[in-house]
Amino acid sequence: MTIRVLDPRLDPELEPLVLAKALASLDGATIGLLDNAKIGTARFYDRLEELLKQRGVREIVRQRKPDSSRPVPRAMLDELARADAIVSGIGD
């Protein structure tokens, strides 16, 4: 009997993704907040934005996906690209 294992990740033939290095400091940073349009995310990000600004973040770039089940539209990715770091999460 043969067992076939499926890999749900990105193409296994490509280079593996590598996490970006952590910011040395939040002072003066621009942070992106990507809201996936699930219940609770906006409220969570409201509070997170307050906390980040208290810790020296200069600017917050917030984007909200039109639908939680679809990929982020290109225009939103372009806007988020100016951030030093991005928080992307869910809030059910």
pLDDT score of 83: 97
Distance CA 63, CA 77 (A): 9
Nearest to 57 by CA among 65, 49, 45, 69: 49
H or E stretch covering 77: helix 74-80
- pLDDT, position 67: 87
The larger pLDDT score, comparing residue 49 to residue 1, is at: 49
Write the pLDDT tens digit of every residue in 50-64.
Answer: 999 999 999 999 999
What is the pTM for the complete model shown? 0.78
What is the pLDDT averaged over residues 65-79?
91
> Does residue 85 register a pLDDT over 90?
yes
Whether the CA torsion 19, 32, 79, 39 is positive or negative: it is positive
